[in-house]
Amino acid sequence: MDKQAQLDKVKAMILEGNVCPDLAAQATNLVMGDGNVNADIVFIGEAPGKNEDEQGLPFVGAAGKFLNEMLAAAGMDRSDVYITNIVKYRPPNNRDPLPEEKKAFWPFLLKQLQIIEPKVVITLGRHSMEYFLPGLYISQIHGQAKRIQFGDHKLVVVPLYHPAAALYNGSLRQTLIDDFLSVPEIIKKLETASE
């Protein structure tokens, strides 16, 4: 079965399993992800917002525009990477996802990663970071590549600030841009190390 068909099965499992029924009842769309299913890099945000819920695609609002700009500045395009969220329905009024909502969606995020098999996971904001790098603080480790064992799979995680948090905060914005621009170098080093 090809990767897209496998990912479609994960979507069907969420729908059939009635995951987070309260969120589902208020959402227009289940937002699974977007981009290249063969990508080496997967970006993981927090949860869909209003635009994402309406369009059924992650990062298509203001934060998404900023993400696209940073991708372009780093020499990448959305079609080179895969983008998803830890929570796949919009929380009402864009509130923070609850711990139980993140926990409910985590196994499905793992399945997505097992299918895509990226070399690098880039977490956007603390909600997805805390699942890959528990107990660490984003203010202390943003932009640093961390190797983790992920089931049978080895993975590099790069925690970045969330584009929505950085959008209107001058110093955070520059920090995020600087971290983002270092991503190609991190990947190059990984490739050299594995040769």
Binding residues for ligand URA, per CB under 6 A? Answer: 45-49, 52, 58-59, 63, 85, 164
Shortest distance, CB of residue 61 to ligand URA, whole angstroms? 6
Nearer to ligand URA, 45 or 143 (CB): 45
**Beta-carbon count within 10 A of 180 CB:** 24
Shortest distance, CB of residue 189 to ligand URA, whole angstroms? 27
Nearer to ligand URA, 60 or 177 (CB): 60
End-to-end CA distance of the chain: 29
Shortest distance, CB of residue 79 to ligand URA, whole angstroms? 17
> In whole angstroms, how far apart are CA 1 and each of 4, 5, 8, 114?
8, 6, 11, 14
Question: What tokens does 33 get?
Answer: 């992800």
Nearer to ligand URA, 52 or 179 (CB): 52
Nearer to ligand URA, 14 or 193 (CB): 14
> In whole angstroms, how far apart are CA 25 and each of 18, 28, 97, 115, 176?
10, 8, 15, 28, 34
